[in-house]
Chains A and B, each alone.
Chain A
């Protein structure tokens, strides 16, 4: 299984940008990079995903390194509602993609 490594926690000030890193040095060429976040006492929700190119949606941006061994989730202006645990996972483009494992994620704390 390709694994991901994320910092345990990060802090940000409200209305400032946040860059959440994820290392996946053993990624294979067909693995998709997915990001999810989990608000307190809730199930995780999808944030964004990508393969090679950077991606933008209404929630966030995903910057993928050229060698794909790392990626960064960018929240352009953090709000208090963005305080959550953010998970970066890899989803292989084969049957192994059926087994979706999560690491510990990064707990983002947003200060007013």
Chain B
């Protein structure tokens, strides 16, 4: 069966420090991968999505970047965190096709202090 792993669950980082969040998917091949961010009490904001290795689409100009070094690995990074980067970060995957479900990881709660 397919599973998605996202870690860490919580993270507290000082302003100006780097960030690396990792997401891996098991049990499927060539998934579409997504990073979302959710501010407290708000909806989901799509940050990046990827349809294949090395293919990244960015939806919102920001202080973050994403990479997909392997088929089932998606990494969210920042060189210098800002206070506004705080939020709940969610990784998700699906296979191609409008009839397919989207599966989310358990999320990372990032607090930048």
Of A15-23, A65-73, A76-84, A87-95, the one with at least 4 CB within 8 A of chain B: A87-95
Give Cα A32 to B99, complex, Å: 7
**Which residue of B46, B96, B106 is within 8 Å of A99 (Cβ)?**
B46
Give Cα A46 to B92, complex, Å: 12
Q: Assess A46 versus B103: contact at CB under 8 Å? Given A32-B98, A93-B98, A99-B59.
A: yes
Instruction: Encode B58-70 as 1/0 by CB contact (under 8 A) with A.
Output: 0100000000000
Give Cα A104 to B43, complex, Å: 4
Nearest Cβ on chain B to A8's Cβ, whole angstroms: 10
Could you tell me if A87 and B44 are in contact, using CB atoms closer than 8 angstroms?
A: yes
Shortest Cβ distance from B104 into A: residue: A43
Nearest Cβ on chain A to B10's Cβ, whole angstroms: 10
Interface centre among B90, B96, B98, B107 (most CB of A within 10 A): B98
Contact-residue size bin, chain A (C-beta under 8 Å from the other chain):
20 to 34
Chain B count of residues within 8 A CB distance of the other chain: 27
- Tell me if B32 counts as interface (CB < 8 A to partner A): yes
Instruction: Encode B98-110 as 1/0 by CB contact (under 8 A) with A.
Output: 1101111111010
Give Cα A103 to B104, complex, Å: 16
Could you tell me if B101 and A49 are in contact, using CB atoms closer than 8 angstroms?
A: yes
A104: B residues at CB distance < 8 A: 42-43
- Tell me if B34 counts as interface (CB < 8 A to partner A): yes
**Which residue of A30, A102, A105 is within 8 Å of B36 (Cβ)?**
A102
Nearest Cβ on chain B to A13's Cβ, whole angstroms: 24
Q: Within residues 27 to 52 of chain A, which ones have a CB less than 8 A from any CB in chain B?
A: 30-32, 34, 36, 41-46, 49, 51
Could you tell me if A44 and B104 are in contact, using CB atoms closer than 8 angstroms?
A: yes
Instruction: Encode B79-113 as 1/0 by CB contact (under 8 A) with A.
Output: 00000000010101010111101111111010000
Q: Assess A43 versus B90: contact at CB under 8 Å? Given A92-B98, A98-B96, A99-B57.
A: yes
Q: Which 6 A-B pairs have the closest CB atoms?
A: A43-B104, A104-B43, A102-B44, A32-B98, A93-B98, A91-B98
